[in-house]
Amino acid sequence: SSLNMTSKVPLHNFDKAFYVKVAAVSFAFGGAIEMFMIKTGFYDVVTRLETERRMEIQDAKKQYDKLGGQVALNWPGLENAGNGENK
């Protein structure tokens, strides 16, 4: 008995109505998740955090430009670093 390796066997046999139901349930579930995220203030928190992050980056770029391209090290104990006054 030889196997015919070129014949294709369908892996599923779903009709169009099944896919319509899956799409409808997925859409409803996605909408429910979005509504939950809006009602709990998720997007407000994410927007605030992203704004803070961008402000920090903008401040760092301004400080970098202000120093003429030198990196500022704002570490405790390094206030006088580089001028021979650290003990």
What's this model's pTM, rounded to 2 decimal places?
A: 0.49
List pLDDT tens digits, range 48-74. 999 999 999 998 888 888 877 666 556
Length of the chain, in residues: 87
Please report which helix (H) or strand (E) contains residue 38, including its range.
helix 16-39
Q: Which residue has the tokens 């301004």?
A: 62
The C-alpha atoms of residue 11 and residue 14 are separated, in whole angstroms, by 10
